[in-house]
Amino acid sequence: MRLTFKPMRQTTQSLKELYEKDFYLWVLENLKLLKNREYDLVDWENLLEEIEDMGQRHYDAMVSYMAVIMEHLYKWENYRKSAYMGSGWKKSIINARTKMLKLFKGAPSLRAKAQEKETLQRAWEDAVLDLMAWFKMNEQLALRHFGRLPTEKDFPQECPYTFQQIMEYEPWLEE
């Protein structure tokens, strides 16, 4: 579907104002200017910020998927008490891995970024926050394992998983 719109003659200043008032129209106007090679009229400041944000959203999604995988791997390894427990964690791990693979398919450079120590650590720190929230909802389990609600200090400070484990480790097959 091609988007059609009534052309407007914009100045850079009016485009900056349009950015705040009607983002969709701002996109269409800048797109038209770029297609017409009217580069001097493009709202470069906001356009560059939006491009940067697009990349950041993909990175943030990847980190979020990694955090979910780590959180549920950690729960499986440390807090699974019966054969009936953990099917939701397994499903979540598989779903997050599938989403990461789709993300890597569209943005292959993210795979290398995911393997960096800083990215793994950021994802682990997010996973720890999610683990702490989970224990707040499961206070009896927290009392059994920690005698209180856990803090960040109760979990490994360094990421305990490699990228390969995040993508491939299936502890349910080892049982």
Whether the pLDDT of residue 165 is over 70: the answer is: yes
CA distance linking residue 28 with residue 4, whole number of Å: 9
* Local structure of residue 133 (DSSP, 8 states): H
Task: Write out 20-80 in H/E/C secondary structure.
Answer: HHCHHHHHHHHHHHHHCCCHHHCCHHHHHHHHHHHHHHHHHHHHHHHHHHHHHHHHHHHHC
Whether the pLDDT of residue 86 is over 80: the answer is: yes
CA distance linking residue 150 with residue 153, whole number of Å: 8
For 7-34, the pLDDT digits (tens) are 455 666 788 888 889 999 999 999 999 9
* Mean pLDDT for the stretch of residues 43-54: 93
* Local structure of residue 172 (DSSP, 8 states): G
* Local structure of residue 158 (DSSP, 8 states): S
Whether the pLDDT of residue 112 is over 90: the answer is: yes
> Can you state the angle between helices 44-79 and 139-146, rounded to 10 degrees?
60
- Evaluate the CA torsion angle 26, 28, 33, 35 in order and state its sign: positive
Confidence of residue 145 (pLDDT cuts 50, 70, 90): very high
Confidence of residue 107 (pLDDT cuts 50, 70, 90): very high
The pLDDT value given to residue 7:
46
pTM over 0.85: no
